[in-house]
Structure 1
Amino acid sequence: MCSVTSSGVQQALQALGRRLREIRVDAGLTARELARRADWHESKCSRLENGRTSPSDVDIRTYTTLCDAQSQTADLIATARGIEGAYIQWRRMERAGLRRVQHSVAPLFERTRRFRVYQSWVIPGLLQSAAYTRAVLSTVAHLRDVPGDIDDAVAVRMDRQRILHTGDHRFAMLVEEWVLRTVIGDRDAMAGALGHLISVASLPSVSLGVIPLGTPRGVGWPVESFTMYDDAQVNVELVSAHLTVTQPGEIAEYTKAFAELSAIAVYGTRARSIISAAIDALG
């Protein structure tokens, strides 16, 4: 990584550097001694451990081998590989148009068998109606000043929903009740979206949980929206960027968060009642 343009990436590099330093210290080695054994310039350890340089796979293997910490090699390599592509600015992704963004995730969706989705902002994309998707993407195009190929992007996302009916994919979806009460587009579009949500939630492949307003939050604290693709990857939605998590330890944290959020959600008849009440509230 030649330069760091995001504070999030910088923090991730610094955290990785601290882990490398801890491994070295636990092994009883000075930075100068490790550099000598690795045949590096002695400043390289400082650059790696202070997050000024992103370590290569070879660098990490050298650290863990010389420090007799090979059990941590795979986890550290996964972390380092994820940092480079983890934090992708929305504008960079979308500058070629929203249709391309929608197309870009197709291979990931096809190979994933178990989807776990938590949404604290909008109805999950795979469960959206066409009018609701159009309203969401229109807002995105306006806020981020990206090419307005809305119709094409909506068509791609609607076509993607075929995955709900094919193959052995399974979808566990969680939404906060306030998502159902937030009008996206106009009231007619929102009512249609909620009716569509009730319909797709009845599919055998879909489990929909709603976390009711007023639920005590000793656990299952509201967090950023995220999607888990099997146990291989988590995509997190931020205001300014799209965060991809591949490090096993961090994926485990999202697994725990999803389980806690699932435990306080309601399902089946109770979930449908909450959606129906949101429709009625639209008048």
Structure 2
Amino acid sequence: MSTDFQAGRIALGARLRELRTEAGLNGKEIASRLGWQRSKVSRLENGKQTTTAEDLEAWARAVGAPSEAADLKARLRGLESQQRSWRRQLAAGHRGVQEKYVVEYHRTASVRAYETTVIPGLFQVPDYARSLFTQNAELMQSPRDTDEAVRARMKRQEVLYQPGKTFDVIVWEGVLHTLICPRDVMAAQLDRLVGLIGMSGVYFGVIPLGAALKLTPKHGFWIFDDKRVIVETINTELHLESSADVALYTRVWERLNESAVYGAQVHRLIARARAALKDV
């Protein structure tokens, strides 16, 4: 059994326990309501047994919260996919991960995103992407398929020109100044961002340094069709599909967006970052 699967199973068990305690029930009482052995309740709550969708529906009814059944079943569906370690995903290189995202974006109509440290992949120029893939392959000690990965990332960007799709993307201003590539590459990357301003279906915002915030910037994330969230950490890619998680990240995005600027103001911030490249 994979570590990722077990971690998800433990998290689901913790949610079952939380619902039980919120209902004021102990383990023996809920077992009686469900007609189960007390040991089954214990195994499920401690992540030692994989539940079924039917068990989750019964649990939700037993704790007096039938509306929670949909969320619990979403968590069950996500057990295999909720946590995907980069070590496993990059075992054959970066290309496969990039091609997976090509499919993800083609089946998605609406994207909302926030990035704190890097220009989003959808907006990257090839040499900027190449720098990132090279650095990450060295860090993760994964196979170097940089050229193939760059081509796949550029293919992903085709969705920007497809009708009926919207991309609402916010970045922290520091992203415009972070040099993870040569200065001439960064200059080209900033020029690419200027070209996005006013593009149909693309809404590119920047949270200026010094802007008043309603919450701390935290980490980056992507919301797909208001149904699923993807969060990248150093060692893991998280796929969150529960309604509670999606609602939480949506609130975070909306509050960050209140501090973002768009249009001409973004143009000025990019121009300032580009000018700074010449000051050193």
TM-score, reference length from structure 2? 0.92
1:277 paired residue among 272, 275, 279: 272
Q: Which residue of 1 aligns with 2:128?
A: 132
Change in 2 beyond 3 A, CA 1:34/1:3: farther
Structure 2 residue aligned with 1:250: 245
Matched pairs, number: 278
- Check whether the contact 2:5–2:80 (CA below 8 A) recurs between aligned residues: no
Output aligned runs, 1:88-127, within 5 Å: 88-127=84-123
Q: C-alpha offsets along residues 94-131 of structure 1, whole Å, 9 cap, x if unaligned?
A: 11221111111222211211111100010011011111
Give the percent of matched residue pairs that are identical in Structure 1 and Structure 2: 36
Q: Return the letter of the residue paired with 1:201.
A: I
Structure 1 residue 62 displacement after superposition? 2.1
Residue 19 of structure 1 corresponds to which residue in structure 2?
18
Write the distance in 2 (CA, Å) between the matches of 1:265 and 1:53.
45
* 1:72 partnered with 2:68: yes
Aligned equivalents of 2:162, 2:55: Cα separation in 1 = 43
- Alignment counterpart, residue 205 of structure 2, candidates 199, 209, 230: 209
Q: RMSD of the TM alignment (CA)?
A: 2.1
Summarize the Cα distance change of 1:239–1:117 in structure 2 as closer, same or farther, 3 Å threshold.
same
Q: Give the letter aligned to residue 218 of structure 2.
A: V
Which amino acid in the other structure matches residue 65 of structure 2?
Answer: A
Cα 1:77/1:5, change in 2 over 3 Å: closer
Give the partner amino acid of 1:246: E
Query: What is the letter of the counterpart of residue 269 of structure 1?
Result: A
- Say yes or no: does 1:264 pair with 2:236: no
Structure 2 unaligned spans of 5+: none
1:118 touches 1:226 (CA, 8 Å); kept in 2?
yes
Conserved in 1, the CA contact under 8 Å of 2:10 and 2:46?
no
Structure 1, 241-250 or 8-17: larger mean CA deviation: 8-17
SS in 1 for 2:73: helix
After TM superposition, give the deviation of residue 68 of structure 1 in Å. Answer: 4.2
Structure 1: gaps (5+ residues): none
Partner of 1:221: 216
Tell me the distance in 2 between the aligned counterparts of 1:184 and 1:261. 25
Q: Which one-letter code corresponds to 1:21 in the other structure?
A: R
The 1:72–1:9 alpha-carbon spacing in structure 2 relative to 1, beyond 3 Å, is: closer
For residues 6 and 107 of structure 1, do their structure 2 counterparts lie closer, same or farther at Cα, with a shift above 3 Å needed? Answer: closer
The 3 A distance-change label for structure 1 pair 68 and 222 is closer
State the match for 2:188 in structure 1. Answer: 192
1:47–1:116 CA distance, 2 compared to 1 (3 A):
same
Between the aligned partners of 2:223 and 2:105, the Cα distance in structure 1 is 11
